[in-house]
Structure 1
């Protein structure tokens, strides 16, 4: 015995080492471990491949292979292959011979695809390990091979497809039956049209019977007689139109019934009677509307899962499920069902999953779900439900998931979810919800105080509300549902604005999805150290708010939001703001730019048109707390920045004459407007001003502005840096620290003024001019000296009468007989200003001018016209204090005419006009006075250089000349209190008793 065993091992080893047969091409299959042979046998080609000691496949080009002549293929060492597949081959006389040529003695699974011949017991003779047989495209098979079942004691699973089977009553004959090992039989797509009584009696131990894809239209309660152990029956794809009474009573242990893609139209009340162990029924892809009789699915004590999927249902009887109290999973999906009858669930306390999606349900009764105490998951997707009424989910303490996506849901009662305390997942996407009460919000401050209908769902983890019409963040989302809530999906809603309160979420790890809304503005609360919310140790929140795909308006309203994006410290309860790749939709200057790339310092807003001066644009910039005006000319009235929560004003003008700025203006932009000389600015009340004169046509330094110690911008001006402007170069160099863009200031011919030696700019010019002119000047000077000495008086008179070179003639010589330096003409109502402002300044040191005023210097009792004429003739100047009061005074205007006539006669500038208050309306003026003002300059009280200009216009005296007698005299007479009486005479009230 030992010798025989050793010999067998040696022969097997030799067989495994056999080289490639002469008639085959050999190679390695997939993965390298498989072996592949392509062989030819008298014109017949076949292919053998497989994995040694695992499987082998033989594919024939035609089914006339001679199995007795095939060579040896080493796929096993005299063992059992896991599977053998014959494809498109003639059935061999025995499979044992084929296995022997593969080096195996048995196989566990046998697959025959397109095999020629009808399978019988002779083909499987000698096999004892076969557990599974699969026959595909078995056109030659016309009967169930009961003899094969009997020959294979280990066979458990038999499947045949594409045969031409005919079932016989009671199995056809009295041959072998029972086959206790056989548990599953599939007779699919094999043309079975009739199921006679007892057709499967010879396989009564079978538990699973699959009859899908046949032509069965009718059967009786006897068709399944003998299948006492059957637990699964699949009728998929058969044209069954009606179930008979007690249709499956012959299979009392049936647990699963599949009726997919049938033409079932009617199920009588007793169709499922007697199926006390039935656990699952599947109705799917029905080809017509099914009508269930009352109680058709009632009293099925073991029924746990019932599915109607894409099977048309016009209606369901209210008692359909009465007594089927074990039901745990009920699906009525895409059936076209319009209503749920009252009482449908009255005995269904154990249902855990209820799927009603894809129907046409429009209305839900408040009490419809109340019996479902055990329900955990509810799917109401894709119906026409418009409202969740009051107490809809009352008492459903085990409910953990509700979905009602893609309905027409518009309203949810405040207490609809009351009692559903275990709810963790709620999805109401793509509805029309606003979550507001039917009659509008009950509280004016909805974002602070009004809760949503979900306020009692303290265990909620995910709330999906995308694709609705919601525009408010409700208080319970921020402050109540904070322990468990992890996702709040509000994308694709109607949010346009988020307030400071909208960003305060106490949840520690929450994702708030606000993408694809209409948000233009987010108002972020600035961080203020010491706020109560920041006190105490608290880990930084991991919550995040997603804000991508919103049309942001990138103006001053999102200033703090942009700062937050760029790292400004946030409040403890504020989630991280994730802007993604959101872009600015407006204003045009920012349109299309990524919000995250916008600088907070660039953000501005426009004032309301009624708050902005005409011909101006008015913006305010929160980064600098400044109001920015861009005007064609100086506005008649400046907006007060404090009225808008700002501090300063920045002004840009397109043209300028003279300008008086209010104190809140800190920047004046006059760049690029073609200025050829420095603008005239009244800087009396200005403390800090930045003036931009860049890009103009200035050739000389703006002396007054530099000396005022302002910050200037002077780049891109053609400054002259030659001899005639050497003092301008010196001035620029002296005030270089005040010039903001000094490094960009250049001379008109190029070069920089900062390194020039201004003192030497004129050296060459002086050298060439002085040498050539000194001689001529000497001769001329000598001649003029002699001539002037002899005829000096005649020359002065000649020049004076013709108005020539009068600056060379001193006032003392021309008006040496004049008693006063100036006669002051004014209205009696302006006497206070004259006595308190004008006289002390001009008559006091160091000026010491001698002035004539009527209440002090006129002769008492003399006629006024004579006094006027004498005062004008005896004064070198006449100072007219022009005001609204002056225009109403007849005597005052008479004084002006007298002075003006003298000035015209002598062709001298003898009249000085001072405007007191606003410039009077020209229409109220005398024609002579109006003509004078239109052709002569005047002084305005309040001008920064008023006193300097007035002193310059007064008579010029010799240095050191003082009228000491007059100084003493005017002090002496200063106490007189004179006025005009009704008769035109001057009266001194203080001395009235002495006259």
Structure 2
């Protein structure tokens, strides 16, 4: 705790002293601004110089406009003390020493000075006077100078340890230039135009460790130049024009660690050139275009770790070139013209980790060429002329992690070529002629032993079959590249991987036409639980299939289902197929269609069946497993016989000249969809027993056979009946058809049946038979219905007819007692007034309301029908809002229709509020005239309602209600003053 307190205290002190102790000095000379540093703009009105400073750290002077002469008087008086560095850019040099400027700022010491792009119009030569008084300076850097250097310009800098003279236009170095800086350890003279170095130039630099002379004009160097450099460790001579080097040039540089002679014109490097440099760790000789290396040139350098001899047009390497250099870690010999290597060239290099032989001309490799390289981790052989990889070449490189064989001519890889590469992470075999074919045995490949493999590149080869077992035991594989091959078929089950990372599988630009999902569908069913656990992070095989000629027919039906999310969703956790904007290759009808836009019901395939009518075309539609027979617009005058077996059938006979509809015995028994529109059919006497869709539009039908109507009424499969554009007769005989239209409006558009005599819908015609008997019946029946209803209500009120109700057995399987149909605008009334009474108490009713009991996502029409069918009664809250509700009217019609079919009074109407009777449709008007209803606000509302509710609960409901308090009228709404009391069951 004490230590922490001390640290915090020192941090505070440092912040105050360093970060917060400086401030702008008010001056008439410059503008001053403070942020994390001080910025002075001088002179105040039209500033041409900017001074940035943090006292105790740095001063940076930048000139932004041309100044004819240096004038220290334009700077402010500052007190900055000792500095880490001083920077002077884009300004002319002072006529005298920099010391005058430093005194202006009260600088007492500088560690480093940087001069950059000096605009010197007054000085042609850099003299020692410029640095007078700067004897404490340790680092000096200047670049982009355009002036010469005096031989003694460093005389006043005896403590200099680093001198950077890069990127100037220095042509000449005088022999005694560095005699005044004996403490120099770093000297950079790169990127100049130096063509000659005097002998003995560095003789006083016994402490120099780093000498950079790259990118100059040197043509030769010799031993005498480097005299005195007893501690030199790094010598950089690259990018010069050196042609030859004497054997003893580096003999005195016994501490040399790294040397670079790359990008020169060296021709011959003799064996003894590095014999005295036993400390060498790195040698770079690349980019010498006519290089020849003598045997043993890199031999017996026991500290040598890195050698680079790239891009030098080498044709051979002597067999002992690396002998005895047993600590070599990296060798790069890429982009030469070597055709073969001596078998013993890498002997005893047991620590070698990286070997680059890229871009040579090897057409084969000796079996034992890498046998000593037991630590080798990276091997680059791309861009050679290799044809075959046998079983032995990599047998003794067990540590290999990266192997690059790209861009060779490899046709054959022996099955056990990589068997020992159990630590291999990355293998590149792209741009070869490899077909991955191992005879008749499916799934064989040479990668089975590479259990650590993460990336495998087999692109641009001649592979025509997907390697079936290639993902087995590859738990770390993340990328498999098979782009630009000839693969035509993929068995999706072979893409299953247990890798927790997910595999990206690239099979773009192949010949893939079919994806086979058969086995993977079975696998997903059997392994759903396993995949939920294994793929909880959405890991899977991601399959890229861009630019492949995929077929859009039955062979790829599963792919179309996959794209449309109509396949087992578990499969998408196994394989994620990505096709982008790929278009169908075949059949011709789909060639311009995006595959992602196809739906499963679009897919049809030729049906080879002898039972197909000669005049028609037959296809198979896997979406609903139908045989689709197209006989449309074939000038047929008689329905063809069908002899297709084993399928459901959809037949299209539209646009012919049929006068007779298909009848029993023609083979239409399994037809589910029958299209007969735009013919000349006058009568239909039979329909297939399992018909789902029947299209009779655009014919000459005047009547509908009663047996056909009866069959249609009984049908449990019919979903859609089309009857438009027929000359329907609307006399007495049309009564059954009108009744059918009224009760099956969900299956047929009732307004499609237009009477021929007045062009009005049949369902709107009130009188079909105009005889006197009909008129009498029209008057008598409503009167009798009213009398019957009144009598029934009275009898029920007296409990005299309860013995007659026998619905308990009929309704025993229904889920709900009551389904309440109401407009959403009346929701508060239902929830606050009806539900509490119906659902509370000791014997509650089970009530269905849509906001609570319907399943989200299901079709509303289906839910309406199910709610009516599953309930013993439908309670309709009839209000102004209800009359405006489309779905409310559908609920009423559905319930009314069901009541007619059951022969039971199942609809209860509660009249809620004032209703404009002009808005009532004919069906509701008819119902209200012929049925009793209860009105909200009636004092006897609950007593009347109880008799209409299911019989098995009437007594229980009554017992509850007779103890309820009286209803009070408040703004035309009624509420229970108190909830119904608990009733003793006894």
Quick check: TM above 0.5? Answer: yes
Give the structure 2 partner of residue 57 of structure 1.
Answer: 61
Moved more, 588-597 or 258-267: 588-597
Q: Tell me if 1:305 matches 2:306.
A: yes
Distance 1:611 1:510 in 2: 49
Distance 2:524 2:185 in 1: 77
Give the structure 2 partner of residue 204 of structure 1.
Answer: 206
User: Could you tell me which of 471, 479, 484 is aligned with 2:472?
Assistant: 479
Distance 2:448 2:358 in 1: 26
Q: Does the residue aligned with 2:223 lie in a helix, a strand or coil?
A: coil
Distance 1:187 1:167 in 2: 10
Q: What displacement does 1:130 show? A: 1.9
Give the structure 1 partner of residue 50 of structure 2.
Answer: 48
Contact persistence 1:505–1:573 (CA under 8 A): no
Q: What displacement does 1:349 show? A: 2.1
Distance 1:588 1:226 in 2: 85
Distance 1:310 1:761 in 2: 109
**Deviation per CA, 1:909-959, whole angstroms, max 9, x where unpaired?**
xxxxxxxxxxxxxxxxxxxxxxxxxxxxxxxxxxxxxxxxxxxxxxxxxxx
Give the structure 2 partner of residue 516 of structure 1.
Answer: 508
Report 1:670-685 matches (<5 A): 670-678=675-683
Q: Tell me if 1:85 matches 2:85.
A: no
Q: Classify 1:754/1:85 alpha carbon distance in 2 versus 1 (closer, same or farther; 3 Å).
A: same
Q: Tell me if 1:733 matches 2:746.
A: no
Distance 1:694 1:138 in 2: 98
**Deviation per CA, 1:163-186, whole angstroms, max 9, x where unpaired?**
435346xx449x946713x11101
Q: Classify 1:630/1:214 alpha carbon distance in 2 versus 1 (closer, same or farther; 3 Å).
A: same
Q: Classify 1:751/1:55 alpha carbon distance in 2 versus 1 (closer, same or farther; 3 Å).
A: farther
Report 1:202-351 matches (<5 A): 202-286=204-288, 288-351=289-352
Q: What displacement does 1:579 show? A: 2.7
**Deviation per CA, 1:470-521, whole angstroms, max 9, x where unpaired?**
343434433322x333333334443332224324333343213235244333
Q: Tell me if 1:665 matches 2:670.
A: yes
Q: Classify 1:731/1:672 alpha carbon distance in 2 versus 1 (closer, same or farther; 3 Å).
A: closer
Give the structure 2 partner of residue 153 of structure 1.
Answer: 159
Q: Classify 1:62/1:365 alpha carbon distance in 2 versus 1 (closer, same or farther; 3 Å).
A: same
Q: Does the residue aligned with 1:134 lie in a helix, a strand or coil?
A: strand
Q: Classify 1:164/1:576 alpha carbon distance in 2 versus 1 (closer, same or farther; 3 Å).
A: closer
**Deviation per CA, 1:442-486, whole angstroms, max 9, x where unpaired?**
31xx2xxx23110011122232333434343434433322x3333
Q: Tell me if 1:422 matches 2:423.
A: yes
Q: What displacement does 1:157 show? A: 3.4
Report 1:844-993 matches (<5 A): none
User: Could you tell me which of 467, 473, 498 is aligned with 1:506?
Assistant: 498
Q: Classify 1:320/1:651 alpha carbon distance in 2 versus 1 (closer, same or farther; 3 Å).
A: same
Distance 2:38 2:265 in 1: 48
Distance 1:14 1:350 in 2: 57
Q: What displacement does 1:82 show? A: 1.9
Distance 2:274 2:290 in 1: 19
Distance 1:384 1:536 in 2: 47
Q: Classify 1:510/1:641 alpha carbon distance in 2 versus 1 (closer, same or farther; 3 Å).
A: farther
Distance 2:361 2:685 in 1: 81
Q: Does the residue aligned with 2:165 lie in a helix, a strand or coil?
A: strand
Contact persistence 2:543–2:578 (CA under 8 A): yes
Give the structure 2 partner of residue 35 of structure 1.
Answer: 39
Consecutive unaligned residues of structure 1, counting only runs of 5 or more, are: 1-8, 768-995
Contact persistence 2:24–2:32 (CA under 8 A): no
Distance 2:157 2:641 in 1: 113
User: Could you tell me which of 527, 540, 543 is aligned with 1:543?
Assistant: 540
Report 1:339-738 matches (<5 A): 339-437=340-438, 441-443=439-441, 446=442, 450-481=443-474, 483-517=475-509, 518-525=511-518, 527=521, 533=527, 539-541=533-535, 542-549=539-546, 550-565=548-563, 566=565, 568-569=567-568, 575-579=574-578, 581-585=580-584, 586-587=586-587, 590-591=590-591, 595-608=595-608, 613-631=613-631, 632=634, 633=636, 638=642, 640-642=644-646, 647-654=647-654, 655=656, 656=658, 659=662, 660-662=665-667, 665-678=670-683, 687-690=689-692, 692-703=694-705, 705-706=708-709, 708-709=711-712, 711=718, 715=722, 717-722=724-729, 725-728=731-734, 730-731=736-737, 733-734=739-740
Q: Does the residue aligned with 1:222 lie in a helix, a strand or coil?
A: helix
Q: Does the residue aligned with 2:101 lie in a helix, a strand or coil?
A: helix
Distance 2:268 2:412 in 1: 38
Distance 1:138 1:530 in 2: 74
Contact persistence 1:241–1:263 (CA under 8 A): yes
Q: What displacement does 1:329 show? A: 0.9
Contact persistence 2:630–2:653 (CA under 8 A): yes
Q: What displacement does 1:89 show? A: 1.4
TM-score by length of 1: 0.66
Q: Does the residue aligned with 1:667 lie in a helix, a strand or coil?
A: strand
TM-score by length of 2: 0.66
Distance 1:155 1:183 in 2: 5
Distance 1:730 1:14 in 2: 105
Please say which structure displays the higher CA radius of gyration.
1
Q: Classify 1:183/1:763 alpha carbon distance in 2 versus 1 (closer, same or farther; 3 Å).
A: farther
**Deviation per CA, 1:200-258, whole angstroms, max 9, x where unpaired?**
11222111111122211112233212211111111122111222223311212111111
Q: What displacement does 1:398 show? A: 1.0
Q: Classify 1:45/1:503 alpha carbon distance in 2 versus 1 (closer, same or farther; 3 Å).
A: closer
Give the structure 2 partner of residue 108 of structure 1.
Answer: 111
Contact persistence 1:106–1:128 (CA under 8 A): no
Distance 2:620 2:167 in 1: 82
**Deviation per CA, 1:809-865, whole angstroms, max 9, x where unpaired?**
xxxxxxxxxxxxxxxxxxxxxxxxxxxxxxxxxxxxxxxxxxxxxxxxxxxxxxxxx
User: Could you tell me which of 755, 763, 766 is aligned with 1:754?
Assistant: 763
Q: What displacement does 1:761 show? A: 5.8
Distance 1:584 1:614 in 2: 33
Moved more, 263-272 or 700-709: 700-709
Q: What displacement does 1:700 show? A: 1.2
Contact persistence 2:390–2:414 (CA under 8 A): yes
Distance 1:188 1:386 in 2: 45
Q: What displacement does 1:291 show? A: 1.7
Consecutive unaligned residues of structure 2, counting only runs of 5 or more, are: 1-16, 777-986
Contact persistence 1:391–1:418 (CA under 8 A): no
Contact persistence 1:247–1:271 (CA under 8 A): yes
Q: What displacement does 1:94 show? A: 1.5
Q: What displacement does 1:567 show? A: 6.0
Q: Does the residue aligned with 1:123 lie in a helix, a strand or coil?
A: helix
Q: What displacement does 1:119 show? A: 3.6
**Deviation per CA, 1:350-392, whole angstroms, max 9, x where unpaired?**
2101122334444333332222111001222333433322222
Equivalent pairs, count: 726
Q: What displacement does 1:394 show? A: 0.7
Q: CA RMSD in A?
A: 3.8
Distance 1:617 1:279 in 2: 81
Distance 2:523 2:282 in 1: 65
Contact persistence 2:211–2:235 (CA under 8 A): yes
Q: What displacement does 1:50 show? A: 1.6
Q: Does the residue aligned with 2:141 lie in a helix, a strand or coil?
A: strand
